[in-house]
Amino acid sequence: MTADGPRPGDEASALPAIAFIGPMAAGKSSLGRKLASRIGRTFADTDRLVALEHGPIPEIFAEHGEGAFRRWEAEAVQRALTPGAVVALGGGAVLDEGTRALLAHATVVLVTVDERAAQRRIGGGDRPLVADGIEAWRRIAAEREPIYRELADTVVDSSSTPMARLVDQLEAWLAERGL
């Protein structure tokens, strides 16, 4: 509170962060950005934060390896996951134990997507871990699924539901819980 009254966003600082997790191509960034705009909170995309600081993700994988990327990703999550923020995490961010501990203090939204929709979304992309196509996506998604489910407070599926409708659903879900 300032002498002029509360500043925009002050009320959000008392609320837990909202973290979007899920497999690659689920739409975490799009959904998170739209929800943050709708409810007046800041938005961060941890993949984008890593890329801004260290360069394009495919180049990071090629030049430094997945281990370096995961370290930088965990650092980005730690910086971004502040009270009141809306944060989209990369699909593999949940593999880090420290990140999972931070998510225990956040409202976690698992965004799922079916294989057909994921294949459309990753086609021709530059995602290093799925360069081999949908088979790699399927294997990675299956390996991470138990972690995603364990961390999630709620689940939405982006396979065929319009983003605007998912934002409506999440906004109502958050309001019901005073978040």
Structure tokens at 23: 């497999």
DSSP state, 13? G
What is the reported pLDDT for 46?
97
- Residue 124 burial by CB count (10 A; 0-12/13-18/19+): exposed, middle or buried? exposed
DSSP structural state of residue 157: E
H or E stretch including 86? strand 86-88
Instruction: Give kind and range of the element (H or E) at residue 68.
Output: helix 57-80
Domains located in the chain, CATH noted: 16-172 (3.40.50.300)
pLDDT of res. 6: 44
Query: Which residue in the block uniquely carries the two structure tokens 């489910």?
Result: 149
Tokens of 14: 């008392």
Nearest to 17 by CA among 98, 117, 87, 96: 87
Per-residue pLDDT tens, the chain, 179 aa: give them: 334 444 455 555 689 999 999 999 999 999 999 999 999 999 999 999 999 999 999 899 999 999 999 999 999 999 999 999 999 999 999 999 999 999 999 999 999 999 999 888 886 556 655 666 788 888 999 999 999 999 999 999 999 999 999 999 999 999 999 88
Would you list the DSSP string of 89-154? PPTTGGGSHHHHHHHTTSEEEEEE--HHHHHHHHTT---GGGTT-HHHHHHHHHHHHHHHHHH-SE
Whole-Å CA distances, 70 to 22, 34, 113, 116: 16, 26, 23, 27
pLDDT digits 0-9 by tens, 120-150? 888 655 665 566 678 888 899 999 999 999 9
